[in-house]
A and B are shown apart, each in its own frame.
With several copies, the nearest count.
Chain A
Amino acid sequence: MQPGLSADQQFFQETTRKFLDARCSPADLRALAADPAGYRPGWWRQGAELGWTTPLVPEAAGGGSISGAGLADLSLAAFEFGRHAAPGPLIPANVAAFSLGRSASSGGGALAAWLERLLSGAATASWLRADPPGTDLGGASLTAGAGPGGGLVIDGQAPVAEAGADADVFLVTARAGSGMVHAVVDASAAGLHRRRLEGVDLTRRWARVELDAVAVPGDQVLPAPADAGFEASSTSDASGDLAERQLCIALCLQQAESVGAMQAAFDMTLEWTANRYSFGRPLSSYQEIKHRMADMRMWLEASYAITVAAIDALDAGRPDASELASAAKAYVGHFGPELVQDCVQIHGGIGVTFDHDLHLFLRRVTAGVPAYGSPAQHRRRLAGMVAERVAS
C-alpha cells in the first residue's frame, strides 16, 4: 500500500492478509451473504487477537500500536479488509475503542469494562452519530438531555447504523444543547429498538436504531475532553473535539478500505485484459482499454495518496487533518465507484453476475459513498473551511 512501511508494519499487514486470504475467499463471502451477522461466531475475537481493535487505544488503557502511529497501522488492516471485502465492524469497533480509550481510565468501571470487551473482540460496537450543530454530514437525529446522577436521556433515530443489528453496545454521539456528548448504551437498554436492514454489501450489515427516552447511567457517559486524564497517544487530540476526531478516524478507515477494494478490482481487471482475447487480440492491446486502465491507475494512486496524507495528518495531530480527511472522502467516494464500474464494463456481462468476484468490491466501494457524509457533503464542508480561512 505505502512506501516506507517498517518491517513490523509489513508483518502486521501480511498477517492480516494471510488470515483474510484463508478465511475470506469470494466463496466464503457468498456463503456469508445469507448470514444475519455477515460473519461466523468467533470471527471478531480472532481478528482482535491479530490486532484489529487496539491501535487507537493507549497502552495504558489496554491498547497499543506497532509504530506509534496508530491510525497508520490500523489502516493497513483496513486496506486488507477492502482488498478482501472482508466482514466485521472494523470502523465502528475502532471508533468506539478510540473513544473509550481516551476516557476509560478516568471514566470508571463501566467504560473500562466495555473497553476491555471491545479490545478482546468479545463484544462488538455500533456507532450512532449525530452531526455537531451547524454541520450536515448525513448524521442521525440524536439528542441527549440530562438524566439522574450525571446520566443522560437520549432520544432519536439512526436510520442506517453499521453493525447495529448485532452490536453488543452502542457508542452514541448525540447533540446536547449547542455541543455534543458521548455515551455508551447497552444494546439491551430499555427504549432502544433496532431493525435489521438489507444493504448493498454482501457481508456488511446495517440496522435502523431508535432510541426512545433511553436512560444512560452517569458512569456510561464519556467525560468531556478537558476532564479526560488519558495519556497522550500518537493520535493526540489536535482539535479538542472528540466528535471531529471520531469522524476523521471513520473517514480514514473507510477510505483505506475503499482503496483496498479499488486495488483488488483493478488487479483483477488488468489480468483479465491480458487473458481475454477479442478479434484475435488481447483486450490489453486495445488503446481505449489501455487508456482507461491508465486513468484508473492514476485514480488509484491519487486515492492512496490523499488517504495516507489524511491518516498521517491525523496521527500527527496536524490542524489540516480534517481538511485532508474530507478531501479523501470527496475524492475516493467519487473515483472509487467509478473505477470499479469501469472494471465491470471491461469485464462485460460476466462482471454483473453473482458468481463473478467483481461485485464484492463494487459493493464495498458503493457502500462507502453515502456513509459518514457523502462526497458532496464533504465538498461543501471543504468549501466552508476555505471560506473561513480566506475570510480570516
Chain B
Amino acid sequence: MSEDVESFRRRARAWIRANLDPAPQGEAGIGRARSDERELARVARAREIQRALFDAGLAGICFPVEYGGQGLSLEHLGAFNQEVAGYDCAADLQIPTFTPCAAVILEFGTEEQKRAHLPAILRGEEMWMQFLSEPSGGSDVAGALTTAVRDGDEWVLNGSKIWTTGAWWADWGLCLARTNWDAPKHRGLTVFMLRIHQPGVEVHRIEMLNGNREFCQEFITDVRIPDSDRVGDIDQGWTVGTRWMFHERTAMGGGSPYVVRPAGSGSAGLVGSGDSLWPLVVAEGRSQDPTALDLVGEAHTLALVGSALTPRIGASMRSGALNDQASALARLYSGTRSVRYATIAYELSGQSGLAWDPEAGDPDPGVGYLMRQAACIGGGTTEMARNVISERVLGMPRETSHDRDTPFRDVPRGPAAG
C-alpha cells in the first residue's frame, strides 16, 4: 500500500525546506569555464544531496523498492517536482546517471547488475556517463568503431569515445561497442559497463572555444571487462541502444520518470525570454528604440511558444496523438530558438558584446554567440531531428544508407573517420 500523493507531498515539502539550499541562479548548459575546484565541489554536493534524499526515503521516486527506490507513481514525482522548485537538489547532475544510464540498467540489466548498481546510484555513490558517441561517428551512434573482443570470460575493449560530460570525475560509463564486424551495423553491437578510472582508460578533457572543459574524450586501450558487466545480449546492443536513446530523448523532452525536474525549470521554463534581455536593452540605452523592442518581442514570443510547445507535445505523445518520435519536434524547436536568442542577444549588446572589461562586464552575449550552434548540435543535431520528424513522424521515405545490409567492415567510412 503506497503512500498517497498528498501525504507524500507534505513529507517531501517538510524535508526539502529543512534540508535543501535555494537553487543557484543562472542557466545550466555549455557555460563558460567553471573552475575545476568549483565543479568538483558541485559534484561532491550532488552526492551529498542524493545520499540525504536516499536516507529520507525520497530518492528514486519511480524506481522499484527492491533497488532502493520508492516505487511511487509519476504523480508523486510531479508533486516532488513542484515542491522542490526553487531548491537545489542537483537536478542537472541526475542526467545521465539516472536516465538514460540507470534506466537502461533497470530495463536490461541482470538481477545482480541491478542490485549492485541501482542502490549505489540512488545513494549518490556511483555517477554514470554515456560512452556512446565516437570521434568518427557524428550523428551515427550505431556506427561505433570501439571494439570488444571476447577472451574467455572477459572482453577486451579498444577504441575511443567522445562528448562524455564529466568523465574526469564520474565513476562508470555505459559503453556501446562493436562485437561483430561481419554483421550489418546494427546487428554487431553490445553494451558494457565500464569503470572509468582504471588503467587503459585515458580521459582527455576537451576545451571548448569558450574555455569550458566539461566534455571529455576517452582513449580505451586493452581494457578487460568481465562478461558479467555486459548489459543485454551479445550483438543485440542496438536493442539496448534504441531504448537508451528513447530514455535520453524523454529526459530532454521533460517527461522522464527517472529524474527530478523542479517545476518551471528546463526548456519548459522561460529561459531566454524577453525579460532576460531587458537589462541589456536598458544598459545600451535602447529601451525606446523600436528595432530593439522588436528583437525583445521576438525573443519573448519564441520563449512563450517554447513553453507552450513542450507540454503540448508531451500530452500528445501520452494520448497517442503523436508517436514517441515526436519529441524531435521539441528538440528542433529548442535548438533553433536558442540560436535565435543568442543572435538577438549579440545584436542587442552592440559593441559591448564585441569587447568587454574582464573585471567588469558580462561577456555572455559575445561568447554566447560564438557558442550559438551548440544548441543545435549537442544531444543530437537538429539535422537528425529533421530526419526523425520527416521519416518517423511524417512517414516520408528513409534516407538511402549504404550501411544497412552490408557487413560493417565493408561500410565506407571515408578519410575523416580518424
Contact = CB atoms under 8 A, between A and B. Distances in A.
Q: Do A and B bind each other?
A: yes
Interface of A: 3-4, 138, 159-160, 195, 197-200, 206, 208, 270, 272-282, 284-291, 293-295, 297-298, 301-302, 304-306, 308-309, 323-324, 326-327, 330-331, 337, 341, 344-345, 348-356, 359, 362-363, 366-367, 369-371, 374, 376, 378-384, 386-387, 389-390
Contacts of A381: 297
Contacts, number: 276
Contacts of A390: 275, 278-279
B329 to A, nearest CB: 5
B208 interface: yes
Contacts of B346: 366, 369
Contacts of A274: 396
Contacts of B308: 302, 305-306, 308-309, 324
B333 A197 contact: no
B178 to A, nearest CB: 15
Given A293-B396, A349-B378, A383 B373 contact: no
Contact of A298 (B293, B329, B354, B383): B329
B347 interface: yes
B131 interface: no
Nearest to B410: A280
A352 B374 contact: yes
B163 interface: yes
B315 A4 contact: yes
Nearest to B137: A278
Given A160-B355, A295-B386, A353-B209, A200 B394 contact: no
Contacts of A293: 389-390, 394, 396
Contacts of A308: 308, 312
A309 B386 CA distance: 25
22 contacts: A138-B351, A199-B354, A200-B367, A208-B357, A276-B414, A280-B403, A293-B389, A295-B332, A302-B308, A304-B312, A305-B309, A308-B312, A327-B301, A341-B373, A352-B209, A352-B370, A352-B377, A354-B209, A355-B207, A367-B354, A386-B274, A386-B277
Q: Is the interface of A mostly helix, strand, loop or mixed?
A: helix
Contact of B399 (A198, A279, A376): A279
Contacts of B316: 3
Interface stretch (B83-91, B138-146, B152-160): B138-146
Interface string B12-52: 00000000000000000010000000000000000000000
A243 to B, nearest CB: 18
Contacts of A200: 353-355, 366-367, 369-370
Interface in B355-381: 355-358, 363, 366-367, 369-374, 376-378, 381
B1 interface: no
Interface residues of B, number: 100
B358 to A, nearest CB: 5
Contacts of B376: 345
Contacts of A389: 275
B351 A345 contact: no
A330 B297 contact: yes
Contacts of B135: 350
B356 A197 contact: yes
Given A160-B352, A294-B332, A197 B296 contact: no
Contacts of A206: 354-355
Contacts of A284: 396-397
Interface string B278-297: 11000000010011111011
Given A160-B351, A295-B332, A344-B373, 17 more contacts: A160-B354, A200-B355, A285-B397, A290-B394, A293-B390, A305-B305, A327-B301, A327-B304, A348-B139, A352-B30, A355-B206, A371-B351, A374-B350, A379-B293, A379-B298, A387-B296, A389-B275
A199 B355 contact: yes
B405 to A, nearest CB: 11
Which 3 pairs show the lowest CB-CB distances between chains A and B? A379-B297, A280-B403, A277-B414
Contacts of B291: 376, 380
A355 B162 CA distance: 14
A323 B391 contact: no
B372 A282 contact: no
B228 interface: no
Given A199-B356, A200-B355, A306 B305 contact: yes
Nearest to B350: A370
B402 A198 contact: no
B101 to A, nearest CB: 20
A362 B370 contact: yes
Given A287-B399, A379-B301, A275 B351 contact: no
B2 interface: no
Contact of A352 (B143, B208, B414): B208
Contacts of B390: 290-291, 293-294
Interface in B287-341: 287, 290-294, 296-298, 300-302, 304-306, 308-309, 312-313, 315-316, 319, 321, 329, 332-333, 339
B272 to A, nearest CB: 12
A301 B355 contact: no
A348 B354 CA distance: 24
B297 A348 contact: no
B365 to A, nearest CB: 10
B139 A281 contact: no
Contacts of A351: 373, 377
Contact of A302 (B305, B355, B371, B406): B305
B378 A382 contact: no
Given A276-B138, A330-B298, A290 B391 contact: yes
Nearest to A350: B135
B96 to A, nearest CB: 16
Contacts of A370: 349-351, 353-354
B411 interface: yes
Contacts of B7: none
B304 A297 contact: no
Contacts of B403: 279-280
Given A197-B358, A352-B373, A371-B351, A387 B309 contact: no
A386 B300 contact: yes
Contacts of A208: 357
A160 B352 CA distance: 8
Interface centre among A4, A284, A350, A376 (most CB of B within 10 A): A376
A301 B370 contact: no
Contacts of B367: 200
Nearest to B315: A3
Contacts of A369: 346-347, 354
B380 to A, nearest CB: 11
B381 A294 contact: no
A323 B400 CA distance: 45
B264 interface: no
Contacts of B354: 160, 199-200, 206, 366-367, 369-371
